[in-house]
Each structure stands twice: as structure tokens, then as C-alpha cells.
Amino acid sequence: MKELFRKAARGDRTERPPVWMMRQAGRYLPEYRELREDYTFLEAISTPEIAAEISLQPFERFQPDGVVMYSDILTVLEPLDFAYHLESGVGPVVENPVDSPDDTYRERGDVREELWYVGELLERLSAELGSDAAVLGFAGGPFTLSAYACEGTPSRSFMAVRRLRAEYPEAFERLLQAFTDVLLEYVTYQVEAGADAIQLFDTYAGLLSPADYREFLLPLHQEILAAIDVPTIIFARNMSGNLELLADSGADVVALDWTVDVETARTELGDVAIQGNLDPALLYGNPETVRERTLEVVEAAGEAGHILNLGHGVDRNTPVENVAAFFEAAKTDA
């Protein structure tokens, strides 16, 4: 299955698409909710034994072809000395957000030391899974991390970082670069620890105008992705009209959210492999509609260079039987 994943990421034809799900280890699973009763989110992600158990829960149920580490895109706030916690009903809260242009000068801590638990988690997953599934590492992208670091809380507009770009462009670049420097170490560490592929989640990068994205962000994506010796996937939301900015990153695979028409994407992206893109909301249907819509995505994507996934993370209240139908459609009917 690891090999199936590699082939699709290279753009090769596969008998069926390899399949995994963003946020596949999470709230929709009763065994996850039960285990999380005993640990805060930050405790769970920073205790390798627990994080490994959580990462493997969906594998035990559904045998996806990729097992994504149970972690968070915000872990890399730590080496830049941003403190954060998860607030119920709100999401991640950064306790000391950027409060002035000078606050973007950040000392960088030792990434391997501060994020040791991520390396140990990947080692465990790699040992446990062997060739049964690809172990998937990931990292937040520099814009999305900067957005949280400036805003302090989740936001629809993330205006604080966009304001920084307009008001103090040098400070904006400095912050992006600080995160990029951390990320370069972090992704290398993940590969050494056993990640078979890495997805870069610059989820909110689509809030930049295409011109700003090209000027400020694209070179950083290129730098980070070029440093990774295993297959790479890039994901950002709301890029349907600007897919070339994702393709130009140099990622092996462009992850599409559910607002992208797959056939249009194929035309625009040429030979680059794609991942996605079933609307996660459709998993609130019933097993039969899930199966139908999943097979539509598989059909539209074609037989070469497609990793089947949702267009965004699976939602927390999704019925488990619909998740099962998604995996089953991919593995037996596609």
C-alpha cells in the first residue's frame, strides 16, 4: 500500500487510487473520543504512545493506504516561542500573538529538541506499519502559521497578518521567513524519523491576492518542498482559480479542495498528481450517496496520479458508517 501511494504521487497509473482522509484520526471516531477523555489535546499530541494509538485507530477500522500522524499544524509555533492552547468551542488560541512589527524578530529554538515527540511518533508509526501503509507527516505552511501568530485566534479574514503585509511588509516577510526556517528543519526531521510523504498545509494562503502570493509566499513553498526527500503534497483552500501557484511550488501532488472541478484541474495542472476532493459535507449523506459521489471523484480524476481524499478534513460529527462507505468505495469499487 505504501508502494501504491508512492506510485500515485509520482503520477503513475494505479489499479485503484490510494486513499486516506484529512483528519482521519479524530472526533468522529468513538474510540478517539473515549481516549481523549483522559488527555488534553496538547497532552495527546505530545505523548508519542498516545499519539501513535490515535493515529492508528482509523487504520484498524478502515485500512487506509496512508496513516497521517496525529499532530497539529501549530506545533511549530513553539520553537519561535509562541505559546498556544486549544479552547473548547473556539479552536487554537495563541497566548502571545505578534503585537508590533518588531515582535517578528524571533529567536529560533532547537526544533528537534522542542518537537522530539513528533520524531518519536513517526518512528513508532513507521515500525508499526512497515509496508502496510504510507506514514504521512505534515507541517503548516508559513502564511497559515503567520496568520495564527498575528491573529491569536481562528478567523474568517485573518486581517491581522494581511494588515501586517500592507503596513509593514518587511516585518511580514521576516515572520514568513522565521517560520520557513523552522519548517526547513522540521520537515527534514520528519523524513529522518520515517515519514514516507509530507503534506504542507498552507490552508489559508488563498487569502493573499495572487500577486502577493507569488511575490511573498511561492519562493518559500519552493524552498521548503525542495528540502524534502520524499513525495510532497501541497494543500491550500480556495485556490480554484490559482492552481498554477500550487503547481509552481514544486510539490509532487497538488491537493484540491472540494470547490475545484477535477476535470478543469487536470487540464490546468497537466502531469502533476492530484489529491482530493470529495466535499466532506457529503459524508453527512448515507452510505449509498457517499459511495456514488466517491466513485464520481475517482472517475473524474482518471487512473493516473490520483490520491483519493476529501477536499478538507472530515467533520467531527460525521457518521462512522459513511466514512466506512468512503473507504470501501475507494478500495473495492474504484
Q: Which residues, at least 6 apart from 63, have a Cβ–Cβ distance to it below 8 Å?
A: 1, 132, 133, 327, 331
The span from the CA of 230 to the CA of 85, in Å, is 31
Q: Smallest gap, in angstroms, from Cβ of residue 10 to its own copies?
A: 26
Of 96 and 209, which has the nearer Cβ to its own copies?
A: 209
The reply on whether position 259 binds its own copies by CB under 8 A is: yes
27 marked as binding residue: yes
| 124 is an active site residue | no
Comparing CB distances to its own copies, the nearer of 54 and 260 is 260
| Whether residue 322 has a cis bond before it, omega within 30° of 0 | no
Long-range interactions of 93-98: CB distance < 8 A, separation 24+: 93/152, 93/153, 94/148, 94/149, 94/151, 94/152, 94/153, 95/152, 97/149, 97/150, 97/151, 97/152, 97/160, 98/149, 98/150, 98/160, 98/164, 98/175
Region of 22-30, 97-105, 202-210, 217-225 interacting with its own copies (CB under 8 A): 202-210
Q: Counting contacts by CB under 8 A, is residue 284 touching its own copies?
A: yes
Q: Rule CB under 8 A: choose which of 3, 43, 49, 167 binds its own copies.
A: 167
Query: Binder to its own copies among 22, 111, 217, 239 (CB under 8 A)?
Result: 239
Does position 10 interact with its own copies (CB under 8 A)? The reply is: no
9 is in an annotated binding site: no
Residue nearer to its own copies on the CB measure, 177 or 242: 242
Spell out a b/e string for 125-145, using b for 16 or more CB atoms within 10 Å of the CB, else e.
Answer: bbeebeeebbbbbbbbbbbbb
Which amino acid is residue 239, in one-letter code?
M
DSSP characters over 38-72: TS-HHHHHT-HHHHHHHHHHHHHHH--SEEE-S--
**Cell numbers linked to 314:** 472530515
Q: What is the helix, strand, coil percentage profile of the chain, to 5?
A: 55, 15, 35
Residue 315 touches its own copies, criterion: CB under 8 A: yes
Q: Is 212 in the site for its own copies (CB under 8 A)?
A: yes
Does 163 sit near its own copies (CB under 8 A)? yes
190 carries a ligand binding annotation: no
Amino acid present at 23: R
Taking contact as CB under 8 A, which single stretch among the options 31-39, 106-114, 142-150, 163-171 is the one that binds its own copies? 163-171
**Farthest CA pair distance, the chain:** 56
162 closest CA partner among 204, 120, 133: 204
Q: Which helix or strand (DSSP H or E) is residue 268 part of?
A: helix 262-269
DSSP states of 164-192 = HHHH-HHHHHHHHHHHHHHHHHHHHHHHH
Residue 27 designated active-site: yes
Q: Is 99 a catalytic residue?
A: no
Q: Pick from 23, 165, 221, 306 the residue near its own copies by CB under 8 A.
A: 165
Nearer to its own copies, 188 or 259 (CB): 259
Identify the residue among 6, 106, 124, 162 touching its own copies (CB under 8 A): 162
DSSP character at residue 135: E
Separation between Cα atoms, residue 125 and residue 36, nearest integer Å:
19
CB of 282 to its own copies, least distance (A): 5
- 154 contributes a contact to its own copies by CB under 8 A: yes
The region of 124-132, 188-196, 257-265, 302-310 touching its own copies under the rule CB under 8 A is 257-265
- Of the residues 148, 258, 326, 327, which one makes contact with its own copies according to CB under 8 A: 258
Q: Judged by CB, which is closer to its own copies: 4, or 282? A: 282
Binding residue numbers: 23-27, 72, 148, 203, 312
Q: Looking at the annotation, which residues are catalytic?
A: 23, 27, 36, 72, 148
* Site residues for its own copies per CB under 8 A: 154, 156-157, 159, 162-163, 165-167, 206-212, 238-243, 258-261, 264, 279, 281-285, 289, 311-312, 315
